A and B are shown apart, each in its own frame.
Chain A
Amino acid sequence: AQSVTQLDSQVPVFEEAPVELRCNYSSSVSVYLFWYVQYPNQGLQLLLKYLSGSTLVKGINGFEAEFNKSQTSFHLRKPSVHISDTAEYFCAVSDLQGAQKLVFGQGTRLTINP
Chain B
Amino acid sequence: GAVVSQHPSWVICKSGTSVKIECRSLDFQATTMFWYRQFPKQSLMLMATSNEGSKATYEQGVEKDKFLINHASLTLSTLTVTSAHPEDSSFYICSAREPGLVGELFFGEGSRLTVL
Contact = CB atoms under 8 A, between A and B. Distances in A.
Contacts of A45: 107
A34 B42 contact: no
Interface in B86-116: 91, 93, 95, 97, 102-110, 112
A111 interface: no
Contact of A90 (B44, B46, B91, B104): B44
A100 B105 CA distance: 10
B93 A43 contact: yes
Given A43-B109, A44-B107, A106 B102 contact: no
B103 A41 contact: no
B32 interface: yes
24 contacts: A32-B102, A34-B103, A34-B104, A41-B110, A42-B110, A43-B4, A43-B108, A44-B93, A44-B95, A46-B104, A46-B106, A49-B103, A51-B102, A51-B103, A99-B49, A99-B57, A100-B97, A101-B46, A103-B46, A104-B43, A104-B44, A107-B42, A107-B43, A109-B41
Interface of A: 32, 34, 36, 41-46, 49, 51, 90, 94, 99-107, 109
Interface of B: 1, 4, 6, 32, 34, 41-44, 46, 49, 57, 91, 93, 95, 97, 102-110, 112
